[in-house]
Amino acid sequence: MRITAIHETTVPIASAMRNASIAFDAMTASALAIETDCRIDGDPVVGYAFDSIGRYGKGALLRERFLPRLLAADAASLQDASGLIDPTRAAQVCMQNEKAGGHGERPGAIALIEAALWDARAKAMGQALWRVLASDEGSTARTPTIATYGSCGHFRPGESLDGLKAEVNRALEAGFRLVKIKVGGVLPDDLHRIEAALAVTGAGCLAVDVNGVLEGSSGEAWLRAASALPIAFVEEPSSALDYAGLAALREASRVPVATGENLFSLDDTRNLMRHGGLRAGSDLIQVDPLLAYGVAEYRRILAFAESQGWHRGQFWPHAGHLYAAQLVAGFGLGSAEAAPDASLAWGGYWDDCPVVDGRITLPELPGVGFEGKRNLLAALQWWRSR
């Protein structure tokens, strides 16, 4: 199995919304398609990957460093003993002569390549990706039915609390039971926002995302006030890399804390677990495999976490869409995050797989199954019409 062509493009996903830390006016994402010489029913196997949202596309690094290394590699150096492309070996080739540390854009670029090759490999094996991942771990207990939650409620110019309530209600109507909204880290405004959303979801079915803006005693006051309301968890209370600051804030929250979407490596996640004051029995880790070197690194993260008393159910990967859902099922993780609006290429799930009572059953399509979500597949096949 050899790579025959690679296509990548940057997709504009600009939106007039913001969270507590950034606006999305000029946001982009990368789409990647890797063609192979493997054929199924006469058609070449193509592996796809579509970026996580929020840290801009990875095209620049893909073009400048990683795709040239992949294309220059001997085919044998990318394969396992069976002759299939081994995504882990391919990612190692891409990382040749890269210094340690500095986990920023690079982990997302490497993860995209690895993800497209996992899609291709699972297709070549004729299996859904989650089955391949579970099988690689020798697990027979995994199932294609997973928990999911809806993430919405960004800040939009001129939006009222009624607008927020309508958006949360749309998520419930789409089948989600747990809904997460953005808050600004500001009292008492956030309490009104939370109470408005809770009136729609009911107690325990709302989470809030502070996007890292809390700190010090005012942050502790915010957490004490917000966590007195019946919310499921508070996401990213403080700056991603301020572990000591997080440890202090953690004490002020009566509900679980979720964090990790801005940590892109085992190195950083290990530091979070060592120094962040999180509780292995209740808090949630949201490291996003598609921004953090991919499957191989995520396995290392899970192995370290389990050695420290964490359970896989406490891993709720950030951002998601189809690829993350495959990993949630394949690794037996807690829940997959989704933008509820399936009319977006990066929102919702497969066209024929509705969210029902906060759960979804993955289809039996080979690979990630991008072929089962028409608007996302169109974004991944732009190069076919050229």
Binding site for a second copy (CB under 8 A): 10, 21-27, 54-57, 59-61, 63-65, 97-107, 212, 239-244, 262-265, 267-268, 270-271, 274-275
Q: How far is the CB of 377 from a second copy (least distance, A)?
A: 25
Active site residue 7: no
Looking at residue 69, its amino acid is R
Q: In whole angstroms, what is the distance from residue 84 CA to residue 80 CA?
A: 6
Q: Which residue in the list 182, 192, 311, 321 is annotated as catalytic?
A: 182
Q: How many CA atoms lie within 13 A of 308 on its CB side?
A: 18
182 is catalytic: yes
Cα dist from 342 to 332, 346, 359, whole Å: 24, 8, 15
Give the residue among 122, 30, 4 at the shortest CA–CA distance from 382: 30
The position carrying tokens 């066209």 is 351
Q: Which is nearer to a second copy, 303 or 356 (CB)?
A: 303
User: Based on CB atoms, which residue is closest to a second copy, 19 or 326?
Assistant: 19
Least Å distance, CB 97 to a second copy, is 4
Which listed residue (58, 318, 321, 373) is catalytic? 318
Nearer to a second copy, 24 or 383 (CB): 24
In angstroms, give the least distance from the CB of 42 to a second copy: 37
Closer residue to a second copy, CB minimum distance, 87 or 276 = 276
Cα distance between residue 105 and residue 52, in whole Å = 12
CB of 203 to a second copy, least distance (A): 31
DSSP secondary structure string for all residues of 46-114: EEEEEPPSSS---HHHIIIIIHHHHHHS-GGGGB-TTSSB-HHHHHHHHTTTPPS---SSHHHHHHHHH
> Catalytic amino acids?
182, 318
